[in-house]
């Protein structure tokens, strides 16, 4: 028995500020820091976060590089059966980042694919990434209590731990916790491609069916504990509509599958300390919010004085997020005197309607078709409302940031949105936003109408809403991080009692 607490190791394909396409990156960064910050008898110091070194990952400052080690890693594609992979250890903000560097796998245009679609060798790429991470842990020889795998890209951890490393004293002992940030992406691998993972026909592995392996299912099946990122999404995931083919497997986990609502890093997202804003502000003194609004509008070539409602939306351009619903509602919103500032990158088909709307009404619709960290902050602060008409939403982060910045959210009642926003019409004394049910333009518009009306009424009702919105505290360290520690403890207990 060791006197110190658990050692926790994250496997994640994204991590802010190194590599990000969506909320996963923010969550992994903030959670790793929060867990390390709670280190006591439960947790052994800082978390290790393994991340592929994609093209575009910024070079760490030389004084932050802790070590650089090249290790041989079993590689089913290498003629010798093994490839050299370099692990670059970096002192990150509150955790140890471990970049997995193997240019043939990661020095490419995209993380998961390019304009032609997903890379055909993703099973090899992420298999190699996971295996290199596990080999680095073995080479160190320091026990690992919890492997915390995020999404399908880390799913091979289940296959390898329960396969080739089953009897390994480091990897084989570790408990596996799998967090599902999104059930829409599975890392599906056909039988013909199983050699990419070093498997031969006839080999048994978690996540397998007659046609191949679902890497997300592998992560679920092998894990001692599985969670998703909000309680409502966890319930929805057990239904065929939202479960995306995994509802049966998730049901079979029983009480070993549940939701932990994501948090927000209050220090990273703070309108009182945000250099991107034209003026800072706080719950007690909100004057800077008006200045930030005028700045957002001016920067987007819109009239800063016009009092009409300004709607912000930010996200991955993905059918999940409901950008199409907002685009369809836009003509009606403009008729009501509203203006829109929309930021998104991803599917060009979802961008087209906003490009057209912005070129037809440049003084009313701004479309920022790229991932712009500073502009995002200006939208959260400067908009009057923040919309998320998501078809499904495992947690959602935009609504939490918007609330912290005093911008009431307009959201669909689904997943984490349902768990974070209280509808003000239903609960006038405690409401924090405007919640609607159907994934339709009409339902979105009706919620916007309620929002506009309340804002036009102004006075105390509006003031109290903004005050309540800004008072909500999603901080990681008080809420979600301790729940993860509980989950780790359970996972370790289950693992240790497994023969
Ligand atoms: C995915 C989900 C989003 C969640 C994020 C972080 O991007 O779509 O709802 O907030 O992961 O967990």
pLDDT at 57 over 90: yes
What is the model's pLDDT at position 2?
Answer: 38
Q: Give the helix ranges, DSSP H, for 237-303.
A: 240-243, 247-252, 287-299
Question: How do strand 175-180 and strand 96-101 relate by DSSP bridges?
Answer: unpaired
Closest residue to atom 7 of ligand 1, CA basis: 23
Would the pTM of this model clear 0.85, i.e. be above it?
yes
Q: What is the pLDDT of residue 41?
A: 59
**pLDDT above 70 (res 330):** yes
Contact between residue 299 and residue 312 where contact means Cβ atoms under 8 Å apart: no
pLDDT band at 3 (very low <50, low <70, confident <90, very high): very low
Q: Is residue 4 over pLDDT 70?
A: no
Residue 65 — pLDDT band, cuts 50, 70, 90?
A: very high
Q: Could you give the CA distance from residue 484 to residue 377 in angstroms, rounded to a whole number?
A: 28
Picking from 42, 5, 6, the residue whose alpha carbon sits closest to that of residue 174 is 6
- What local confidence, expressed as pLDDT, does residue 443 receive? 98
Using alpha carbons only, give the angle 176, 496, 186 rounded to the nearest 5 degrees. Answer: 15
Sorting pLDDT into bands at 50, 70 and 90, what band is 478?
confident
Query: Of the candidates 425, 423, 401, 426, which has an alpha carbon nearest to the alpha carbon of residue 412?
Result: 423
**pLDDT over 70, % of the chain:** 98
Beta-carbon count within 10 A of 330 CB: 25
Phi, psi angle pair for 100, to nearest 5°: -95, 110
Atom of ligand 1 nearest to the CA of 179: 12
Q: Of ligand 1's atoms, which has the minimum distance to the CA of residue 320?
A: 8
For 295-320, write each residue's pLDDT tens digit: 999 999 999 999 999 999 999 999 99
Neighbours of 356 (CB within 10 A): 14
Cα 33 to ligand 1 centroid, rounded to whole Å? 18
Q: What is the pLDDT of residue 1?
A: 34
Q: Whose Cα sits closest to atom 1 in ligand 1? A: 181
In ligand 1, the atom with minimum distance to the C-alpha of 151 is 11
Work out whether strand 82-91 and strand 65-74 pair parallel, antiparallel, or are unpaired. antiparallel
| pLDDT above 90 for 200 | no
Instruction: For ligand 1, pick from 397, 402, 414, 480 the residue to mutate: most ligand atoms within 8 Å of CB.
Output: 397
Question: In this predicted structure, what is the pLDDT of residue 202?
Answer: 84
Mean pLDDT of the chain: 96
Per-residue model confidence (pLDDT) at position 201: 76
Atom of ligand 1 nearest to the CA of 26: 6
Q: How far is the CA of 230 from the centre of ligand 1 (A)?
A: 10
Element (H, E) at 258: strand 257-259
Residue 341 CA to ligand 1 center (angstroms) comes to 21
List Cα–Cα distances, 402 to 40, 74, 308, 382, 420, in angstroms: 33, 45, 19, 10, 12
Q: Which residues line ligand 1 (CB under 6 A)?
A: 22-24, 27, 181-182, 229, 262, 393-397, 416
| Cα–Cα distance for residue pair 371/21, rounded to 1 Å | 8
Q: For 237-286, what is each residue's pLDDT tens digit?
A: 999 999 999 999 999 999 999 999 999 999 999 999 999 999 999 999 99
CA of 181 relative to ligand 1 center, distance in Å: 5
Non-local CB neighbours of 82 within 8 Å, separated by 6+ positions: 72, 73, 74, 75
Q: Which ligand 1 atom sits closest to the C-alpha of 24?
A: 6
Element (H, E) at 329: helix 323-335
pLDDT single digits (tens) 114-143:
988 999 999 999 999 999 999 999 999 999
Q: What is the DSSP letter of 306?
A: -
- 3-class state of residue 246 by DSSP: coil
Q: Supply the DSSP symbol for 455.
A: H
**Ligand 1 atom closest to Cα of 229?**
12
Question: Residue 151 and residue 220: Cα distance in Å, rounded?
Answer: 9
Answer whether residue 44 shows pLDDT above 70.
no
The pLDDT of residue 392 is 97
pLDDT at 43: 63
Residue 5's pLDDT band, with cuts at 50, 70 and 90, is confident
Whether omega before 332 lies within 30 degrees of 0, making that bond cis, reads: no
> What's the CA gap between 30 and 474, in Å, rounded?
12
Tell me how far the alpha carbon of residue 196 is from its chain's centroid.
27
For range 485-490, the mean pLDDT? 95
Report the distance separating Cα 465 and Cα 74, nearest Å: 57
Q: Which atom of ligand 1 is nearest to the CA of 397?
A: 10
pLDDT digits (tens, 9 = 90+) for 146-188: 999 999 999 999 999 999 999 999 999 999 999 999 999 999 9
Q: pLDDT value at position 45?
A: 80
* Cα–Cα distance for residue pair 270/193, rounded to 1 Å: 46
Kindly give the distance from the C-alpha atom of residue 362 to the centroid of ligand 1, in angstroms, as a whole number: 31
Calculate what percentage of the chain has a pLDDT beyond 90.
93
Confidence of residue 67 (pLDDT cuts 50, 70, 90): very high
Give, using CA atoms, the residue closest to atom 10 of ligand 1: 396
Ligand 1 centroid from CA 74, angstroms = 32
* C-alpha Rg value of the chain to the nearest Å: 23
Q: Is the pLDDT of residue 40 over 70?
A: no
Task: Provide the strand spans (E) within 296-443.
Answer: 310-317, 339-346, 365-368, 385-388, 409-412, 434-436
Phi-psi region of 154 (alpha: psi -120 to 50; beta: other; left: phi over 0): alpha
What digits encode the pLDDT tens for the residues 202-216?
A: 899 999 999 999 999
Instruction: Evaluate if residue 371 carries a pLDDT over 90.
Output: no
Helix (H) or strand (E) holding 34: helix 23-37
What distance in angstroms lies between residue 363's CA and the mean position of ligand 1's atoms? 32
pLDDT at 115: 86
């Amino acid at each position: 028995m060791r006197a110190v607490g658990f050692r926790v190791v994250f496997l994640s394909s994204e991590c802010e500020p190194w590599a990000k396409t969506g909320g996963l990156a923010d969550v992994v960064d903030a959670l790793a820091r929060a867990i390390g910050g709670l280190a006591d008898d439960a947790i052994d110091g800082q978390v290790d976060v393994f991340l592929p070194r994609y093209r575009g990952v910024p070079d760490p400052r030389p004084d932050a590089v802790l070590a650089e080690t090249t290790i041989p890693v079993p590689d089913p594609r290498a003629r010798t059966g093994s490839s050299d992979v370099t692990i670059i250890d970096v002192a990150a903000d509150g955790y140890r980042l471990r970049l997995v560097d193997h240019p043939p796998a990661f020095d490419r245009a995209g993380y998961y694919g390019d304009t032609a679609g997903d890379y055909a060798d993703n099973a090899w790429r992420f298999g190699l990434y996971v295996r290199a991470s596990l080999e680095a842990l073995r080479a160190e020889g320091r026990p690992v209590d919890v492997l915390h795998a995020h999404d399908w890209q880390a799913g091979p951890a289940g296959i390898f731990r329960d396969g080739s490393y089953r009897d390994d004293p480091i990897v084989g002992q570790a408990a596996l916790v799998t967090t599902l940030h999104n059930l829409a992406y599975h890392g599906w691998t056909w039988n013909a491609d199983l050699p990419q993972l070093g498997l031969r026909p006839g080999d048994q592995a978690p996540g397998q069916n007659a046609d191949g392996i679902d890497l997300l299912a592998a992560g679920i099946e092998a894990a001692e504990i599985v969670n998703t990122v909000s309680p409502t999404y966890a319930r929805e995931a057990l239904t065929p509509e939202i479960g995306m083919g995994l509802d049966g497997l998730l049901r079979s986990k029983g009480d070993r599958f549940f939701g932990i609502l994501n948090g927000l890093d209050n220090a990273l997202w703070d309108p009182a300390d945000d250099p991107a804003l034209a003026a800072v502000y706080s719950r007690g003194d909100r004057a800077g919010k008006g200045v930030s609004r005028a700045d957002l509008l001016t920067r987007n070539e819109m009239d800063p004085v016009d009092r009409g409602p300004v709607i912000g939306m930010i996200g991955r351009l993905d059918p999940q997020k409901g950008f199409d619903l907002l685009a369809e509602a836009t003509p009606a919103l403009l008729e009501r005197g509203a203006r829109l500032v929309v930021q998104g990158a991803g599917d060009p088909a979802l961008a087209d309607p906003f490009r057209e709307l912005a070129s037809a009404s440049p003084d009313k619709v701004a479309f920022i078709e790229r991932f712009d960290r500073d502009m995002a902050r200006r939208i959260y602060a400067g908009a009057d409302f923040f919309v998320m008409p998501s078809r499904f939403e495992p947690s959602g982060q935009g609504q939490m940031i918007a609330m912290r910045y005093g911008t009431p959210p307009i959201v669909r009642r689904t997943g984490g949105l349902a768990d974070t926003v209280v509808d003000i019409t239903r609960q006038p004394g405690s409401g924090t936003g405007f919640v609607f049910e159907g994934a339709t333009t009409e339902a979105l518009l009706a919620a916007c109408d309620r929002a506009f009306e309340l804002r036009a009424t102004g006075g105390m009702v509006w003031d109290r809403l903004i005050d309540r919105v800004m008072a909500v505290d999603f901080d990681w360290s008080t809420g979600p991080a301790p729940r993860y520690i509980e989950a780790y403890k359970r996972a370790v207990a289950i693992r240790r009692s497994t023969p």
